[in-house]
Amino acid sequence: MSEERLMSKKKPTYPVCPELDAYLEQYSRKTEIPIFYEDLLRFSGSIVVYDDHGEDTLWIRVYYSDTERREIDESLKRVYSILHSDGSDRIFQFLNVDAVDYCTFGNSKPFRIKVRNILNDNFTYFYVKKADASRIYGLELEHLLSPYNINFLVYGNTLIEEHIAGIPGDVFIKEMLPDCSPSEKSQLAKEFVKFNERCMIRLLGDMRSYNYVIVPMHDFDHVVYRIRAIDFDQQSYEGKLKVYRPQFFKENNPMVDLVRSRLLSDSVDQYKVEERSYVAKRILSSHRRIGRLIKIARADHISTPENIERLKSEIYDLTHDVQFKACKSMGDILDVALDFVKRNYEDVSMRQIIEKRIKI
């Protein structure tokens, strides 16, 4: 299936409703910041950013007038301090804003801020984006349901996201995957199965290879790979179930081929069950916070009626759970999907307890 037919041409930006705003404040996601997304749009010029191979990265490096640059630099240092420290100005003297880059590709059109510590030349990035309800739900669900914590802030119409370190999936597939050992390829295949399952469960769409990163971790005498999403724009929006399954994007074909060549079907099923169990455990351990978030999402408007009708129909065809037929919103679908995973986990756990008691 072609990319154009699989994905909608453009997803609209959905505003943050008062209930979601209150949730963000309760869980320390809402913090007053000294600069807004629109302030960074006042750049006076730009140059194209190329990679090490001389190819266009689709980012442009923007610059501002001298008077605005001083104010913007101070404000961005403050944002860095709020995101990564205590929000005070004590560390400002050690920081330098090396670059402000703007991406003209995709829906979010983010700014990427490079901040360097002048004492040791260590640097990191953070992103300034338009606050979009879909993206915020995606970030919060990633924090609660995935193995990874994620740091972000919202204030008004501006979203601040921390940088997620890793090798972009498309770069890894092209430049590093061919040189991986057989055992590393098997491990990558396993991680892709689990990543694919996790995205489908929590309805995170559009995980093409440039929307996730590969994170290599050294463990004793070998390297362990993890896959992390880095773009949460397509949370619970599209109507096609395939959009929420990374395996159906052509950019991920090399990863799908790995799964086919390196894993037996029984192993694939095992890893799917493992990931569903992990998600179920996270739901149970954070049920109050997740419950409040899902309650807000159920009443929120983050997709179209056509997408809602199509998605609940396709998920019903997959699960045969009649509760999907009664869904009226994307939040309803997400609620039933997570409950479906939790119920299956609890049913299996209870069955194991009963079987153990019978044996005793």
Of the listed ranges 2-6, 14-18, 35-39, the least confidently predicted one is 2-6
Amino acid sitting at position 88: S
CA atoms within 13 A on the CB side of 210: 4
Is 90 exceeded by the pLDDT of residue 267? yes
Measured CA to CA, the distance from residue 152 to residue 158 in angstroms comes to 11
Question: Which helix (H) or strand (E) covers residue 50, if one does?
Answer: strand 45-50
Measured CA to CA, the distance from residue 291 to residue 307 in angstroms comes to 23
Cβ-contact 210, 346 below 8 angstroms: no
Cβ-contact 11, 135 below 8 angstroms: no
Q: What is the pTM for the complete model shown?
A: 0.92
Is 90 exceeded by the pLDDT of residue 238? yes
Amino acid sitting at position 168: P
pLDDT at 163: 96
pLDDT at 168: 96
Give the angle subtended at the CA of 149 by the CAs of 146 and 154, to the nearest 5°. Answer: 115
Q: Got the DSSP string for 153-212?
A: EEETTEEEEE---SEEHHHIIIIIGGG--HHHHHHHHHHHHHHHHHHHHTTB----GGGE
Contacts of 125 (CB under 8 A, 6+ apart): 112, 113, 114, 115, 163
Rounded mean pLDDT, 250-258: 98
Q: Tell me the angle at which helices 265-285 and 133-145 cross, rounded to the nearest 10 degrees.
A: 100
pLDDT bracket for residue 190 (50, 70, 90)? very high
Residues 20-30 pLDDT 10s: 999 999 999 99
Is 80 exceeded by the pLDDT of residue 202? yes
Cβ-contact 128, 110 below 8 angstroms: yes
pLDDT at 348: 67
Is 90 exceeded by the pLDDT of residue 105? no
**Cα separations in angstroms, 334 against 150, 209, 299:** 20, 24, 12
Residues 44-75 pLDDT 10s: 999 999 988 888 888 999 999 998 999 999 99
Q: Got the DSSP string for 320-351?
A: --GGGGG--SHHHHHHHHHHHHHHHHHHHHHH
Higher pLDDT, 181 or 359: 181
Is 80 exceeded by the pLDDT of residue 353? no
Measured CA to CA, the distance from residue 284 to residue 282 in angstroms comes to 5
Q: Which of 15, 208, 239 is nearest to 105 (CA)?
A: 208
Contacts of 49 (CB under 8 A, 6+ apart): 56, 57, 59, 60, 61, 101
Q: Which of 191, 233, 185, 227 is nearest to 209 (CA)?
A: 227
Helix or strand or coil: residue 44? coil
Is 50 exceeded by the pLDDT of residue 1? no
Is 60 exceeded by the pLDDT of residue 318? yes
pLDDT at 350: 46
Rounded mean pLDDT, 221-238: 94
